Structure 1
Amino acid sequence: MILTACLLASGCAGGDEPEPAGDQGKEAVPHGYVEGAQEAAEQQSRLVMADAATGTVRVLDLVTGDTATLGAVGPVTDVTTDGRFAYLATGTGTEIVDSGAWTVDHGDHVHYYRAKIRRAGRAEGPGPVRAHSNPAVTALSFGDGSVRLFDREALEDARPGEGRALPGATAPVIPYGEHLVVPGTGAAHDRVEIRDRDGKPVSSPDETCPEPRGTALTRRGAVLGCADGALLISENSGAFTARKIPYGTSVAPAERAVDFRHRAGSTTLAARAGRNAVWILDVTGLRWKRIETGPVVAVNTAGEGTPLLALGADGHLSAHDPATGKRTVRTPLLPPASRGPAPVIEVDTSRAYVNDPAGRKVYEIDFNDRLRRARTFSLDFTPSHMVETGR
């Protein structure tokens, strides 16, 4: 089924803005209420896309099929997300887009929200940028290793300001609980510090993380990619522990896991292992598995019980059994890889999304049905970069 995504002016909320509250402010605030947002019964997934050359930015609502246009921000080199906001690295700074879709996880239940899509300001710093957030703070880590902390409430009001520099940070920082996980500290840049939200050191685990690259936040804790494997930082009643998950063998620098891909909260992570293989990291089982895929440009997995998805350099999408590594399905999807930003695979609980820059399309894939194309979204611009929000 092919859907031509309709374009909406960025000011059109399409029913995303709530009715005036009237006298409700005098009553007790209902559980889950968020001013300026509507609560929904299901996850409100959206795709933030950008044209690398022109800087055109669009947001595709995967629930309605509508696309909002936010104008151009200048040439874009990279895009990342913290689940709600998209951060677009340009030659002059980082543009911030509020996708208007997010999830609040209380452990025993979740809340799904939708609100107006809008530009939310900019942050100064050289790209590419990495972003991690919690309800109080957003940490933006820039290409030169510097990190700035932004007040989450101000960011939600589209008032990010300049943020606060985090001294001593040389690698991406993860807000975790009421603290910050800060790798790359110490004389050898291999120590990990636990700091409070003001940036003051609280503790430092004995385990080290040499040459930290790659981060992920899971239900088991914060994961750091290290030269010798991964480091899992967990918290229990304010006490932090660190467990090394070694590769178990010597791994060349070019084949390290440096870009973890996964469904939000999942404890199964995927990362390219150089050009011709993929790493699967089972955070719960504390073990790695290397899967030989052949030339690969993008990977992802929705987690336990679902396949590893790998997009080959030849444009074929494959599904692999993560336990055995065996390829179970292979189907043509895109033209062979060419110059420019590589396509990505974004996943949620039952669908995957792959951008096709050359064809100006986005494909929705049912990975539980032999990689069936569930929907095809035709676009009028080049989706060079793409991230999924609503998580």
Structure 2
Amino acid sequence: MIDLRKTSTAAIVAACLLASGCSGGKKPKPAGEQTKEPVPHGYVEGAQEAAEQQPRLVMADAATGTVRVLDLTTRAVTPLRRVGPVKGITTDGRFAYLTTGTGAEIVDSGVWMVDHGDHVHYYRAPIRPAGAVSGPGPVRAHADPGITALSFGDGSVRLFDREALEKAHPGPGRALPGITGPVVPYKEHLVVSGGAARDRIEIRDRAGGLVASPGETCPEPRGTALTRRGVVLGCADGALLVGESGGTFSARKIPYGAPVAPAERAAEFRHRPGSTTLTAEAGPAAAWVLDVAKRTWKRIETGPVAAVNTAGEGTPLLALGTDGSLNAYDLATGKRTARTPLLPPIADGPAPVIEVNTSRAYVNDPAGRKVHEIDFNDRLRRARTFSLDFTPAYMVETGR
């Protein structure tokens, strides 16, 4: 039995504070006014937090509009309603946007991550349709925790509230007048290209007001990527890296180093989200590797190529040839290190893609109605193959 006579005065005071709120002579609040329990760090209502990434693949049949979501952890395939002919697909990490004849159908893949810099939270939630938006395709998406910026085929851009998207009520969005290029939410601001000064990048606030215009130019901006070093934009003469430190935005040019024909420019970057190693097709028979940290470009001769990607430093460049073979190239030397037959020769129609995470790559096989999981650290070993009941012409990976 506890001897209360030996209980310290400090313990009694602590008990008093915890039980009755007697500090400083303040009276306890009535029952209806009690302070709510603090929300645990990382809690998201309606979602389950996970210990590791929860990747899913959102896939669509171009002709029929069939949409399926493949959970790579459980192998479960979730069917969603058909959306009509699909002309493209993009993602902001959680939501997939399927370009149709009238705009974009939105799919909430139910998996995402929140990066706090020193740690990351991973979440799972139900898969469901999340509404639709109107506008000419193709549609491109960039997002941060607060807003999503959708760029449309006519160059217009609209901003959508993230909470509204999560409730499956995107609304019409808010237009950014006068913008004809990509817009990337970054550090609670907007990195804007194609504004009033066509070759200059602008930093705007969330209302669209001009905050800064870094001195470096980016002629003919095409292609964007968000990395841990900042926002990368493809330019006619190379790339522009836009970063922020202490509230001040800066821009640094990463030049090609030699003239590059327009058809061989990096027009669309592919990479593992957050990685500072980017890839892009360099015309029909080569690939670019852009090391953002070292600010260098490397051109790797791949032969006729349909898709490229990489998981980043220490992993190979992955190149899918038009003959259907998957190839691995050393990022430093440019030499091919592995090759495996994977798909039949790639004919007309949407080209397959390579999606990557830290240890696996995923290649959609429209002709075979499959998705192949590749261990790129084991000489392109085929780790798993997922057979499907439709043609996965379009595919994106979410949960990151």
Deviation per residue, 1:177-223 (Å, 9 max, x gap)? 11000011235x21111000111110101111111000000000000
Greater relative contact order: 1 or 2 (C-alpha under 8 angstroms, separation 6 or more)?
1
Secondary structure of 1:153's counterpart equals: helix
Select which of 86, 103, 108 maps to 1:76.
Answer: 86
Larger Rg: 2
> Which residue of structure 2 lines up, in the alignment, with residue 212 of structure 1?
221
The number of equivalent residue pairs is: 366
> Which residue of structure 1 lines up, in the alignment, with residue 46 of structure 2?
36
| Amino acid across the alignment from 1:388 | E
Decide whether the 8 Å contact of 1:260 with 1:271 is kept in 2: yes
Secondary structure of 1:373's counterpart equals: strand
| Amino acid across the alignment from 2:107 | V
5+ long unaligned stretches in structure 2: 1-34
> Which residue of structure 1 lines up, in the alignment, with residue 194 of structure 2?
184
Hey, what's the Cα distance between the residues in 2 that align with 1:218 and 1:199?
Answer: 23
Hey, what's the Cα distance between the residues in 2 that align with 1:163 and 1:348?
Answer: 31
Hey, what's the Cα distance between the residues in 1 that align with 2:302 and 2:41?
Answer: 47
> Which residue of structure 2 lines up, in the alignment, with residue 258 of structure 1?
267
Secondary structure of 2:201's counterpart equals: strand
Hey, what's the Cα distance between the residues in 2 that align with 1:291 and 1:241?
Answer: 30
Residue 285 of structure 1, CA deviation: 0.2
After TM superposition, list the pairs within 5 Å mapping 1:69-218 onto structure 2. 69-187=79-197, 189-218=198-227
Deviation per residue, 1:8-36 (Å, 9 max, x gap)? xxxxxxxxxxxxxxxxx942100000000
Hey, what's the Cα distance between the residues in 2 that align with 1:131 and 1:177?
Answer: 17
Hey, what's the Cα distance between the residues in 2 that align with 1:63 and 1:75?
Answer: 29
> Which residue of structure 1 lines up, in the alignment, with residue 10 of structure 2?
none
Hey, what's the Cα distance between the residues in 1 that align with 2:36 and 2:215?
Answer: 52
Secondary structure of 1:338's counterpart equals: coil
Select which of 305, 310, 313 maps to 2:314.
Answer: 305
Secondary structure of 1:184's counterpart equals: coil
Hey, what's the Cα distance between the residues in 1 that align with 2:222 and 2:297?
Answer: 16
Hey, what's the Cα distance between the residues in 1 that align with 2:163 and 2:367?
Answer: 38
Residue 237 of structure 1, CA deviation: 1.3
| Amino acid across the alignment from 2:299 | R
Residue 71 of structure 1, CA deviation: 1.4
1:370 equivalent in alignment to 2:379:
yes
Hey, what's the Cα distance between the residues in 2 that align with 1:143 and 1:267?
Answer: 27
Hey, what's the Cα distance between the residues in 1 that align with 2:365 and 2:282?
Answer: 23
Hey, what's the Cα distance between the residues in 2 that align with 1:247 and 1:184?
Answer: 21
> Which residue of structure 2 lines up, in the alignment, with residue 13 of structure 1?
none
Hey, what's the Cα distance between the residues in 1 that align with 2:122 and 2:157?
Answer: 29
Decide whether the 8 Å contact of 1:214 with 1:257 is kept in 2: yes
Deviation per residue, 1:121-153 (Å, 9 max, x gap)? 111111111100001110000111000000111
TM-score (norm 2): 0.91
| Amino acid across the alignment from 2:236 | A
Residue 172 of structure 1, CA deviation: 1.2
> Which residue of structure 1 lines up, in the alignment, with residue 61 of structure 2?
51
| Runs (4+) off by over 4 Å | none
> Which residue of structure 1 lines up, in the alignment, with residue 388 of structure 2?
379
> Which residue of structure 2 lines up, in the alignment, with residue 345 of structure 1?
354
| Amino acid across the alignment from 2:161 | D
Hey, what's the Cα distance between the residues in 2 that align with 1:307 and 1:62?
Answer: 22
> Which residue of structure 2 lines up, in the alignment, with residue 317 of structure 1?
326
Higher mean C-alpha deviation, range 349-358 or range 160-169? 160-169
Decide whether the 8 Å contact of 1:216 with 1:260 is kept in 2: yes
Secondary structure of 1:63's counterpart equals: coil
Hey, what's the Cα distance between the residues in 2 that align with 1:164 and 1:183?
Answer: 17
Decide whether the 8 Å contact of 1:184 with 1:210 is kept in 2: no
Decide whether the 8 Å contact of 1:184 with 1:209 is kept in 2: no
TM-score (norm 1): 0.93
Higher mean C-alpha deviation, range 209-218 or range 26-35? 26-35
5+ long unaligned stretches in structure 1: 1-24
> Which residue of structure 2 lines up, in the alignment, with residue 229 of structure 1?
238
1:272 equivalent in alignment to 2:281:
yes
> Which residue of structure 1 lines up, in the alignment, with residue 8 of structure 2?
none
> Which residue of structure 1 lines up, in the alignment, with residue 31 of structure 2?
none
Hey, what's the Cα distance between the residues in 2 that align with 1:263 and 1:63?
Answer: 18
| Amino acid across the alignment from 1:186 | A
Hey, what's the Cα distance between the residues in 1 that align with 2:222 and 2:65?
Answer: 27
Hey, what's the Cα distance between the residues in 1 that align with 2:148 and 2:123?
Answer: 19
Hey, what's the Cα distance between the residues in 2 that align with 1:185 and 1:251?
Answer: 25
Decide whether the 8 Å contact of 1:214 with 1:224 is kept in 2: yes
> Which residue of structure 1 lines up, in the alignment, with residue 249 of structure 2?
240
